[in-house]
Amino acid sequence: MGQYIRCIITDGNLTRDQLARMLPQISRRYRLEGDLLLHDAEAKAVLEFNHPGDGIMEDDVELLKRYAQEKQDSEHLASMLEKATSMIAAQDMTQQADEKEATRSALDPIWKWLLANRQALIVYEGGHFVDADGPHP
């Protein structure tokens, strides 16, 4: 399996069913089948939906806080992470480097939509943070 991309939501709950209802607003090319996100009928990522108290989200948020400490906007990022109410962890299903970029490109419209319509923070593998204001070096 490939890399993780996490979407931290800070303005309420985001469930699998809610995302499934949002996907047609983003593009009819997307659909969910169980925990698989399909784009043009091709599985692109395994999605995991986490919430406070599930035993997973807290550990991931703590890891992301450590990454955030190294950023210029560390206080802003830490504040967003403290407000986390939901998290989607997307693990790409590719093995090859060129396929990983195609998967990331396929997922980007979803992240952009969430950034425009929700209070959200996208964290790419290795601690690369993006919110509605853009990347946080």
pLDDT of residue 57 exceeding 60, the answer is yes
Supply the pLDDT for residue 105: 80
| pTM as predicted | 0.90
pLDDT of residue 96 exceeding 60, the answer is no
Mean of all residue pLDDT scores within the chain:
91
Band (83; pLDDT cuts 50, 70, 90): very high
Percent of the chain whose pLDDT exceeds 70: 91
pLDDT of residue 98 exceeding 70, the answer is no
pLDDT of residue 11 exceeding 80, the answer is yes
pLDDT of residue 2 exceeding 80, the answer is no
Supply the pLDDT for residue 126: 84
pLDDT of residue 50 exceeding 70, the answer is yes
Which amino acid makes up residue 95? Answer: Q
